[in-house]
Amino acid sequence: MALKAGDQSQAAMNGLRDKVLTVDTMNQCVRRVEYAVRGPIVIRALELEQELRQGVKKPFTEVIRANIGDAQAMGQKPITFMRQVLALCVNPELLSSPHFPEDAKRRAERILQACGGHSLGAYSISSGIQLIREDVARYIERRDGGIPSDPTNIFLSTGASDAIVTVLKLLVAGEGRTRTGVLIPIPQYPLYSATIAELDAAQVNYYLDEERAWALDVLELGRALRQARERCRPRALCVINPGNPTGQVQTRECIEAVIRFAFEERLFLLADEVYQDNVYAEGSQFHSFKKVLTEMGPPYATQQELASFHSTSKGYMGECGFRGGYVEVVNMDPEVQQQLQKLMSVRLCPPVPGQALLDTVVSPPAPSDPSFAQFQAEKQAVLADLAAKAKLAERIFNETPGICCNPVQGAMYSFPRVELPQRAVQRAQELGLAPDMFFCMRLLEETGICVVPGSGFGQREGTYHFRMTILPPMEKLRQLLEKLSQFHARFTLEYS
């Protein structure tokens, strides 16, 4: 509360004064930032965990945090080869140990040779270790069937998130009717809405079609664009494939249509492809935007601007805490690319252990290497387990009256639609909560299950959802789904 002039002089005499930084004087764009994945529901989950530790009696014995795609927090085991290489890089004295395979030692030595002072503790150049960028380029070429990739167009980053924010910073300009509009899918991953708010850009929503398994429709892109042009200048189009939170995998035809749309409407394309290893549904296949763009030929291949992102946090790796990732830019103006380099330089460099880990992702053991068999077995086991859990989540939700769930084709979440009685909607409004937030809070308080309300990701008016990760171990996931199903029945009865 600000003080009046007389009060101020009194306050000054008493040694009191206004804070320089208050919620009124701070950056108002930051106040508008919301990030549902770690929002109020997670804060309450942490409080409940604390209460359980203090011996407070609850109707449950543990909080299950199904709110975030954090594989290893949910019990997924790290891939052995990756951790062996990392251990050797962090502590090179282990290179003489007989307990590590020779290919892991060779890889660690190769990475250390490329580091300043042969140490992970040294800064790298701001765009990332050159050797690792070259390995990323070779990975992209293999993934895309031989289409060339230039290491100078690859920038390593602190997870994919940091690269996404940096590219958006380059795009945002203007004010009023000329400020940059960014098209994002609804439902979306809240990094996008949060960054757009922070940068004071205009969020332009295009809706995925829930009735068609969350398909992306170019006609809907056109609608969103036309309406947005009345209030801002749309310059960028984000696509998340495979989808988060929706789990759909785009067809090649859809990607081609999106590229043609972006080209005709002069939009910079951002392809969030961090779940590219997580594709489970029969008939679904991951196609990279870079590959499709190149195979479409001129003018698309030679002119359409694209930034595509990948990360070590998801896939079969689940190495969230190491914060490794990269962006590859295609057809970016060379002078703008220099500005991207400059922005990266301000932060010195991405975490070097994360870069080393990324190298093991993009350059796994070859068939002739001693680690190959174990690596392949561990990778396939993780992906097969996720595929089975995706099917289980879909089946149990669809067997529950009042809940329906599209097939989880990819990624690591289900995003079921939930019917809420009108009295529950009214009660939520009385409490000043979104109806699905009210549902999720009650779920947390009564079962210990922490999921994120669909309102945190965006959804069509009058529909309610929640996002839940499929990462918990199979038996725990089965129990979680059954408890959730039973809770929904009780909740519906209470408010019907």
Residue 444 contacts residue 450 (beta carbons within 8 Å): yes
Residues 459, 188: Cα–Cα separation, whole Å: 9
Q: For residue 467, give the amino acid letter.
A: R
- Domains detected in the chain: 30-75+376-495 (3.90.1150.10), 123-362 (3.40.640.10)
Residues, the chain, total? 496
β-pair type (180-186, 233-240): parallel
At 106, list the tokens. Answer: 């060779």
Closest CA to 360 of 78, 107, 77: 107
- Work out whether the CA dihedral 288, 290, 295, 296 comes out positive or negative: positive
What was the pLDDT predicted at 456?
83
pTM confidence score: 0.87
- Taking CA 282 as the corner, what is the angle to CA 276 and CA 285, rounded to the nearest 5 degrees? 30
At 293, list the tokens. Answer: 């763009």
What was the pLDDT predicted at 36?
57
At 218, list the tokens. Answer: 């170019």
- Taking CA 226 as the corner, what is the angle to CA 222 and CA 232, rounded to the nearest 5 degrees? 125
What was the pLDDT predicted at 343?
84
Average pLDDT across each block of 10 residues of the chain; the chain has 496 residues. List them in order. Answer: 54 71 71 67 88 88 85 87 95 92 95 90 87 96 95 92 89 87 90 87 92 91 94 94 90 95 96 92 91 95 95 89 92 89 83 93 94 95 92 91 90 90 91 90 91 87 90 90 92 89
What was the pLDDT predicted at 410?
87
Beta strands per DSSP E along 23-95: 64-65
